[in-house]
A and B are shown apart, each in its own frame.
Chain A
Amino acid sequence: MSREPQVGGDDGRVQASGTKSDGGSDSDVESAIRQNRPALITYITAGDPSLEATGEYVEALDRGGADLIELGLPFSEPIAEGPTIQAAINRSLEAGTTPAAFFDLVDGLDTDAPILVMTYYNMILQFGPEADVRPFVERAADVGLSGIIVPDLPAEEAGPLRAACDEHGLDLVFIVAPTTEGERLDRIMSRVTGFAYVQARLGTTGARADVSTATHDGLARLTEYDVPKAVGFGVSEGDHAAEIVEAGADGVIVGSALVDIVADHGADGDAPAAADLEAKARELKAGARRGTTDDRAEDTPEPEQP
């Protein structure tokens, strides 16, 4: 896939490098959120049930209106995941997914939505011959990935990865939890690039029936920071997306609800799963748009031409 700025999408979505008020340039990821606000960010586990299928699913999500796509690179000890994504990771590992094959897949994808990789720190450390984050980041940049999310890497330990991402122009997204406060919140928000991943509730990933009150509290604490905020953990329906956007989020992140679709289709073919994923993305994107009130809509910048 290409990392060149481009106007794309038959639905008028824009993927372009914008210009910030301070004169600095937004990254692909930040632009994708700011210019398509409210943005839909989708997660699926790469290699579940196969990397070939993942390629089709990514394209389906892209068609369905996803503005950013997170791909999970499976790790054997996924401590931040609930049962749904744990099971997807197991299916992917059983199918023999490797980091090298994952990168090859991404290299061949052509999507309007920028793609991020979500994986655990040990997978990043072990990609090269020694325990070192740089070979992974270099390869990620080569294949056109736009950013990295690491659920077991708090900002305090992120120095080496932050430096490698800066060197290669990748965003490093940090998670802000309901328990994140005070100086730590300031520090995280000063180091995050792309967007802040706002964890809607304590616990692990997984689809829930409602939107937690922690979501509203979490977003309220973040209004003063000029970083796009996207809310994940438990978002599964268009109405959730609407409520979250109404509460002030710039984007919603949906994972387990999509992984459920992949799991439900099992081995019965990639095409029906892809069609359902595309439809689910449309529902979620429409839901997110419903959450945009009139005055918020005025704040949304007009799409810019490159």
Chain B
Amino acid sequence: MSTIDSDHDGEERRDSTSTFGDYGGQYVPEALMPAVQELEDAYERYVLENEDGFMDEFRRRMREFGGRPTPLQRADRLSDRYDRDIYLKREDLVHGGAHKLNNALGQVLLAKYMGKERIVAETGAGQHGTATAMAAAHLEMPCEIYMGRTDINRQRPNVYRMRMNGAEVNPVDAGSGTLKEAINETMRDWATTVETTHYVIGSIVGPHPFPKMVRDFQAVIGQEARDQVREATGRLPDSVVACAGGGSNTMGTFHAFVPDESVALYAVEAGGSSLEIDADAGLAPNSATLSTGTDGVLHGAMTRLLQSDEGQIMESHSVSAGLDYAGVGPELAHLVESGRVTPVTVDDDAALEAFHRLSELEGVIPALESSHALGYLEHHHEDLGDLVVVNVSGRGDKDLETVLEETEKRDLEAAPDVEVFDG
């Protein structure tokens, strides 16, 4: 909303630091406002100004514990197939198998610098939860993860991983028992324990300063990729492609390229099974928030949402649990609004095809989330110029069960015969 509100006293009290154009802000219960402001202060001092060497320690730990920097790899077979240079940013090689650790380690470390005694986090499919549990174990912080009951039932290995790292996993039974409900419940915990606890939010969503802070922890992806692509090719890419759910890998990849006007930025959303919505049932069979959503407030920020005309948030869908969210980061909403980022969609079928294609052609099994970014190449590579960077945000080992199940239901050109795995 408007960043400077003149109230009835005529006092101006806000500047644009908490917003991105019309998006962002701090729409949280009053009990959380002091904590959000405390976090703002900590973000400015430790992250932006490197007070007490915070960022130095963060970068060191991401090298030693996290495995950074990750490579930028030329995908030779994909480059042949699409007749242009395709480079993969290999975030699947970060410790834990996804870009999620960049943010989780940053926030858990920040919580330590702030003197917090406990970490809470939400998780959908379990990627952010497992990254947070690893970071919390690494930094000796007590950690509780909220996870929807439905997600717990379909992601059991991730539940075990979190518990092995010493985290408590709290089931959330409300609603459909997925990510949105897990965020609600984590916010409720935080509103109760705010004096001692930091909420490690998993994407560039939530009230300011979370969207900026999470982006800054993830921005290493694009910073490395920008240097690496120039070193490899001597120039900037024509296009950068990343999948977008909440948008943390997206903004992490794009941030360094935003000022490079010659570089086109594509945010690939989950087209699910259809872009049509069933307003009466409150269901959106997709997670294409940037492409089809409308402006509203959810989980602390003004952003684009999948919602009914009356403002009820819809149940979203994607074959990829990590993209399955009815909101999106406010910065991405702003960059789409301003025309800097182009939102596009890839549906469940095309993402599954891309999953199999990369596995077979390049020996890299991508996460189903990342498969959406890769899926965009298949029919739109001619729009992307001669040199393309695609972010492989995570590895697909976690998705094997889903992929086998979903592949059996379909006739996919790129898929191996899954029957041979039976028995």
- Asked if chains A and B come from one complex, the reply is yes
Which residues of chain A have C-beta atoms less than 8 A from B309's C-beta?
126
- The interface residues of chain A lying within 8 Å CB-to-CB of B6 are 159
Contact at B34–A184, with CB atoms within 8 Å? yes
List residues of chain A with CB within 8 A of the CB of B282: 76
Tally of chain B residues near chain A (CB < 8 A): 47
Residues of B close to A76: CB separation below 8 A: 175, 282, 312-313
**Among B29, B33, B180, B193: residue with most chain A CB under 10 A:** B29
Q: Could you tell me the distance between the alpha carbons of A162 and B76 in the complex, rounded to whole angstroms? A: 59
Contact across chains for B27 and A126 when beta carbons are under 8 A apart: no
* A76–B1 alpha-carbon span in the complex (Å): 21
Contact of A204 among B27, B188, B299 (CB under 8 A): B188
Q: Is A86 an interface residue (CB 8 A)?
A: yes
A214 to chain B, nearest CB (A): 11
A163 touches B (CB below 8 Å): yes
Contact between B7 and A191, CB atoms less than 8 A apart: yes
Binds A, one of B8-16, B81-89, B214-222, B370-378: B8-16
Question: Looking across the interface, which residue of chain B has its beta carbon closest to that of A78?
Answer: B184
A59 to B302: give the CA distance in the assembly, Å.
37
Interface flag for B227 (CB, 8 Å): no
* Given A177-B29, A179-B195, A202-B191; A93-B1 close (CB under 8 Å): no
Contact A122 B294 (CB under 8 A): no
Instruction: Name the B residues within 8 Å of A155 (CB-CB).
Output: 30
Q: Contact check, A177 vs B188: say whether CB atoms are below 8 A apart.
A: no
Given A178-B31, A179-B35, A203-B188, A122-B311 contact (CB < 8 Å): yes
List of B residues within 8 angstroms of A179 by Cβ: 30-35, 194-195
B311 touches A75 (CB 8 A): yes
A175 near B295 with CB under 8 A, answer no
Pairwise interchain contact A126-B30, C-beta atoms closer than 8 A: no
Whether A175 contacts B174 by the Cβ 8 Å rule is: no
> In the complex, which residues 119-148 of chain A have their Cβ closer than 8 Å to any Cβ of chain B?
120-123, 125-127, 131
A41-84 interface code vs B (CB 8 A; 1 in, 0 out): 00000000000000000000000000000000001111110100
CA distance A77 to B25 in the complex (A): 18
B296 interfacial contact with A, CB 8 Å: yes
CA distance A162 to B307 in the complex (A): 25
A275 proximal to B (CB < 8 A): no
Chain B residues closer than 8 Å to A184, beta-carbon distance: 33-34
CA distance A278 to B10 in the complex (A): 44
Alpha-carbon distance between A123 and B298 when the two chains are bound, in angstroms: 11
**In whole Å, how far is B324's beta carbon from the nearest beta carbon of chain A?**
15
Q: Residues of A contacting B194 with CB < 8 Å? A: 179, 202
The answer to whether the Cβ of A190 comes within 8 Å of any Cβ in the partner chain is yes
Return the contact of A154 from the options B26, B191, B192, B302 (Cβ within 8 A): B26
Kindly report which residue of chain A lies nearest to residue B22, judged by CB atoms: A131
Asked if A77 and B298 sit within 8 Å, CB to CB, the answer is: yes
Interface membership of B143, Cβ < 8 A: no
Q: Does A286 belong to the interface (CB within 8 Å)? A: no
Query: B25 → chain A, closest Cβ, in Å?
Result: 6
Q: Which residues of B contact A166 (CB under 8 A)?
A: 8
Task: Compute how far the CA of A80 lies from the CA of B185 in the bound complex, rounded to whole angstroms.
Answer: 9
Q: Does A5 reach chain B (CB closer than 8 Å)? A: no
Min CB gap B128→A, angstroms: 18
Q: Which residues of A contact B13 (CB under 8 A)?
A: 156, 187
Q: Let me know if B28 is at the binding interface, CB within 8 A.
A: yes
CB distance from A146 to the nearest CB of B (A): 18
CB contact between B2 and one of A126, A127, A159 (< 8 Å): that residue: A159
Q: How far is the CA of A177 from the CA of B33 in the complex (A)?
A: 9
- In B59-75, the 8 Å CB interface with A consists of none
Shortest Cβ distance from B173 into A: residue: A83
| B135 adjacent to chain A (CB < 8 Å) | no
Q: Mark A88-109, 1 if CB is under 8 A from B, else 0.
A: 0010010000110000000000
CB distance from B183 to the nearest CB of A (A): 8
Q: B192–A202 contact, CB under 8 A?
A: yes
Please name 15 further chain A to chain B contacts, defined as beta carbons within 8 Å, in addition to the given A122-B307, A126-B311, A187-B13, sorted by A numbering: A79-B187, A79-B299, A126-B309, A126-B310, A152-B27, A152-B28, A152-B300, A156-B33, A160-B1, A163-B7, A174-B30, A175-B29, A178-B31, A184-B34, A199-B31
